[in-house]
Chain A
């Protein structure tokens, strides 16, 4: 049809490759596409730049012009007046002066090494749980850590915590032995029975004897009311996290169960805990628990708080895990049944690994919530960091200091919580096995 000869001009040679227009490459293009792609976008950009400028101009000089070396707010202000002629700058000296208090509360200063050692041991025992490249042998440290922590932080003779640990050990041995001959339920009963017999009847006298014969490893005792600062947050947070996951799993299974009474108890517990604020539970722990326990029982306040925080977050945990269980295709349950696995084997080998994987984000969010909620203990007379910030402000030397303390406390929490959420995202990516 078309005849090339009839056209006046046909290009015979290829054109040289031209560089892309300036506005379509590199930084310019990025700015055009991301910041000024339309009138609305441009307004947003200008408003954003204005907001950022306002915030930075207001805070940066304040942050970086601060005083790090003073013993009171008045001295801080004197220094600032000499240096800048005004006092619109931070007084970080409160952190340097109260650093130990913010970290350890009223822990005796000569014993700080114990808290530090416990913290290092905690990191070491968390490592094999968090990362599977860490040698598996370190899990023994993880198992021993709860007892080590109690001994290091509260002090006293070593035999008390050892006896508790031995109880668990004997229970485990009993479980293994009976498991060889009987069913799961029987061995669980045997394990609990052996451990309880040890704790109640044999353990105490053995501990007494050992204390008399071999009084080694006696650390200076520290009272619970002397714990505080970041330390108490970590203790409550890590205990709550470690305990709430298994309890939450049990509650979730109970709620999903076909057994009517078990289900009713679990639903009632979960809905009750989720329906009331944590603060009422903490007040119950500090005001009412003495009513519910046999007369004359004294109960360590930190332990009460840990129990309440654990119960609180285990109810939330149960709901998160229930979501994971519900999201699992029904075929997985049926396949487990078809393989002839009993309930616990099916849960352990088929259901839970998948359900927990699905609910990782929710689980970690619950952990983060729990860790943030440890600040609430300030209301029942435990001096965590926020409680200490009030106490520091009540001191005449630091009366009127807010932002430096708030920024420090907020920063500490931010780092911990952000690290947790980043870890959960990493774990999710690592465990993703589906086809993409």
Chain B
């Protein structure tokens, strides 16, 4: 009893305690790690400085304000070759974001449909979806991008096939969409006088839908009565905007693509590079999302459905109130990383010549200014910020649907 509790004689601090005593060892390890990290960083920075000075270069981001002097074939904001490099970078970044947003939307739609159909009782449909998922998941996305590009540029009719009295090709959807090997032309909206009111009304009605949802929820909690939410929301979505549209004298019109000479004019021109990248990324990521959705649905035990039925819930309410909230919790985190992957994979635009961030800042700007270090650092920083923004934004949503535990 006495010997066990006796503390060892205090011999003061010995050097060996730095390694053997757990109280001090962690400090030793951290100091060593810090020193090693700083040594490596110093080594790299010193090398960079020496190499740069040997080449007569410096680190200077001033080139961003010089004239870019190259054209970008797809611009969301106005841009000419007289604009500075930073604006070219911005145009590229917007193109990257455009493909990322479009891709995420389409990939989610494809993925959810494929994932649900893969679980379908229909044997044939389930097999087809398995085939789709396995073939897209196991083949590099770069190959898919090149393959989609080859389909679009080789298998589609040239614009001149649309000419003549008996054309070899014809436009789709009542002569409004022209699918050619130079890109797809779709009707573009033309914003006339007063169209701003229609847009404002539309945005207000979105706000109205949100407010109505809140109101309906509160009413339900107070009285227990359920309003026909879906139909009312649908009405709020369409009716005010359409009313204002007609009151203002139909200010928004569509410009249809038309064959002019050897090419199409008018309408919105979607380049093949963009379409190929968009479709390939969506189908590729869609196959991963399909698996995520499938595993999410399978993760909810059958007892949940049966319990909901036993409580007398209709199948649609079972889905909305019982299955989906639980499945989403499983689905959201891997879905976020798929969205991130899609955004990062959009840098493969290089393969088809889509002018994204990598092609403007990391491509033409880098080559014409010769500032590899600055361009690469800036490009990595932008990608990093975009990734972090997406993941933090989705994490907020994830938190809101997470299981509330005590």
Is the CB–CB distance between B139 and A44 below 8 Å? no
Flag if B52 contacts A291 (CB, 8 Å): yes
Decide: A295 near B47, CB < 8 A? Known: A261-B33, A275-B383, A378-B142: yes
A277 CA to B348 CA, complexed, in Å: 9
CB-nearest residue of chain B to A265:
B37
Instruction: Give bound CA distance, A403 to B146, whole Å.
Output: 10
**Interface size of B in residues (CB-CB distance below 8 Å):** 54
The answer, yes or no, to whether B299 is at the interface (CB within 8 Å) is no
Q: Are B139 and A414 in contact (CB under 8 A)?
A: yes
CB pair A288 B373 closer than 8 Å: yes
Among B123-131, B175-183, B187-195, B224-232, the one that faces the other chain is: B123-131
- Say if the beta carbon of B286 comes within 8 Å of chain A: no
**With A295-B51, A413-B138 in contact, is A386–B143 under 8 Å at CB?**
yes
Is B150 a contact of A406 with CB atoms below 8 Å? yes
Partner of B33, one of A47, A258, A265: A265
Interface stretch, picked from A48-56, A113-121, A216-224, is A48-56
| B122 & A35 in contact (Cβ 8 Å cutoff) | yes
Query: In chain A, what residue has the closest Cβ to B48?
Result: A291
Q: Which residue of A lies closest to B49 (CB)?
A: A291
**In the complex, A294→B124 CA distance in Å?**
61
Flag if B384 contacts A372 (CB, 8 Å): no
- Using Cβ atoms and an 8 Å threshold, which residues of chain A touch B29? 259, 262
Query: A416-427 toward B: CB 8 Å interface, digit per residue (1/0)?
Result: 011001000000
Interface centre among A280, A294, A295, A402 (most CB of B within 10 A): A280
Q: Which residues of chain B are near A368, meaning CB under 8 Å?
A: 138
Given known A-B contacts A52-B128, A259-B26, A277-B347, A291 and B373 have beta carbons under 8 A apart: yes
Per DSSP, chain B at the interface is helix
Query: Which B residues are in CB contact (< 8 Å) with A272?
Result: 384
CA distance A275 to B345 in the complex (A): 11
- Give the docked Cα–Cα distance between A373 and B142 (Å): 8
User: What distance in Å separates the Cβ of B317 from its nearest Cβ neighbour in chain A?
Assistant: 20
Cβ–Cβ contact B125 & A45, under 8 A: yes
Shortest CB distance B148–A (Å)? 10
Asked if B247 CB lies within 8 Å of chain A CBs, one says: no
Looking at the complex, which one of B122, B128, B143, B372 makes contact with A34 (CB distance below 8 Å)?
B122
Contact of A275 among B372, B376, B387 (CB under 8 A): B387
A260 interfacial contact with B, CB 8 Å = yes
Q: Does A332 contact B (CB under 8 A)?
A: no
**Contact code string A228-262 (vs B, CB < 8 Å = 1, else 0):** 00000000000000000000000000000011111
Cβ contact within 8 Å between B138 and A421: yes
Say if the beta carbon of A375 comes within 8 Å of chain B.
yes
- Scan residues 350-404 of chain A and give those whose CB is less than 8 A from a CB of chain B: 368, 372-373, 375-376, 378-379, 386, 389, 400, 402-403
17 contacts between A and B (CB under 8 A): A34-B121, A34-B123, A41-B120, A49-B124, A183-B20, A259-B26, A261-B33, A276-B383, A277-B345, A277-B347, A288-B372, A295-B51, A375-B142, A402-B154, A406-B150, A410-B147, A421-B138
Residues of A within 8 A of B (CB): 33-35, 37, 41, 44-45, 47-49, 51-52, 183, 185-186, 258-262, 265, 271-272, 274-280, 283-284, 287-288, 290-295, 368, 372-373, 375-376, 378-379, 386, 389, 400, 402-403, 406, 409-410, 413-414, 417-418, 421
